[in-house]
Structure 1
Amino acid sequence: MSAEALLIERGDDRIVATLNRPEKRNAIDQEMIDALHGLCAELEAEPRTLIITGSERVFAAGADIAQLRERRAEDARRAINATAFIRINELPMPVIAALSGHALGGGAELAYAADLRIASPSLKIGNPETGLGIMAAAGATWRLPEIAGHARASELLLTGRVLDADEAITWGLVSSIHPFDELLAAAHALADRIAGNDALATRHTKRALRAPRHEHPDIERELQAELFESDEKVRRMTAFLNRSEDRRART
Structure 2
Amino acid sequence: MTRSPLRVEHASDWTVVTLDRPEVRNAIDQATVDALHTVCADLEHEPRTLIVTGSGGIFASGADIAELRVRRAADARRAINQAVFMRVRALPMPVIAALDGYALGGGAELAYAADIRIATPSVKIGNPETGLGIMAAAGATWRLPAIVGEARAAEMLLTGRILDADEALSWGLVSALHPADELLAAAHALADRIARNDPLATRYTKQVLQTEPLDQPALVNELQAELFESPEKIRRMTAFLERRAR
What TM-score, normalized by structure 2, do the two folds share? 0.98
The alpha carbon displacement at 1:214 in A equals: 2.5
Counterpart AA for 1:75: D
Counterpart AA for 2:106: G
CA distance in structure 2 between the aligned counterparts of 1:3 and 1:179, rounded to whole angstroms: 29
CA distance in structure 1 between the aligned counterparts of 2:11 and 2:217, rounded to whole angstroms: 35
Paired residues of 2:97 and 2:118 also in contact (CA < 8 A): yes
Aligned length: 245
Match of 2:28 in 1: 28
Paired residues of 1:56 and 1:180 also in contact (CA < 8 A): no
CA distance in structure 2 between the aligned counterparts of 1:146 and 1:229, rounded to whole angstroms: 33
Provide the secondary structure at the position in 2 that maps to 1:216: helix
CA distance in structure 1 between the aligned counterparts of 2:56 and 2:146, rounded to whole angstroms: 27
Counterpart AA for 1:17: V
Does structure 1 residue 169 correspond to structure 2 residue 169?
A: yes
The alpha carbon displacement at 1:169 in A equals: 0.4
Alpha carbon RMSD of aligned pairs, Å? 0.8
Match of 1:6 in 2: 6
CA distance in structure 1 between the aligned counterparts of 2:217 and 2:75, rounded to whole angstroms: 38
Provide the secondary structure at the position in 2 that maps to 1:58: coil
Does structure 1 residue 131 correspond to structure 2 residue 131?
A: yes
Match of 2:37 in 1: 37
CA distance in structure 1 between the aligned counterparts of 2:99 and 2:216, rounded to whole angstroms: 32
CA distance in structure 2 between the aligned counterparts of 1:245 and 1:82, rounded to whole angstroms: 51
| Aligned-pair identity (%) | 70
Counterpart AA for 2:180: F
Structure 2: gaps of 5 or more residues: none
Distance 1:3 1:88, change over 3 A: farther
The alpha carbon displacement at 1:216 in A equals: 1.9
CA distance in structure 1 between the aligned counterparts of 2:57 and 2:11, rounded to whole angstroms: 26
Match of 1:191 in 2: 191
Provide the secondary structure at the position in 2 that maps to 1:103: strand
Cα offsets for 1:146-180 (capped at 9, x unmatched): 00000000000000000000000001100000000
Match of 2:96 in 1: 96
Paired residues of 2:59 and 2:107 also in contact (CA < 8 A): yes
The alpha carbon displacement at 1:58 in A equals: 1.1
Match of 1:249 in 2: none
Paired residues of 2:98 and 2:187 also in contact (CA < 8 A): yes
Paired residues of 2:22 and 2:56 also in contact (CA < 8 A): no
Match of 2:50 in 1: 50
The alpha carbon displacement at 1:3 in A equals: 5.7
Paired residues of 1:148 and 1:171 also in contact (CA < 8 A): yes
Counterpart AA for 2:154: S
Paired residues of 1:101 and 1:120 also in contact (CA < 8 A): yes
CA distance in structure 2 between the aligned counterparts of 1:133 and 1:77, rounded to whole angstroms: 17
Misfit runs of 4+, over 2 Å: none
The alpha carbon displacement at 1:56 in A equals: 4.5
Match of 1:159 in 2: 159
Which residues of 2 match residues 213-224 of structure 1 at below 5 A?
A: 213-224=213-224
Match of 1:150 in 2: 150
Match of 1:178 in 2: 178
The alpha carbon displacement at 1:57 in A equals: 2.6
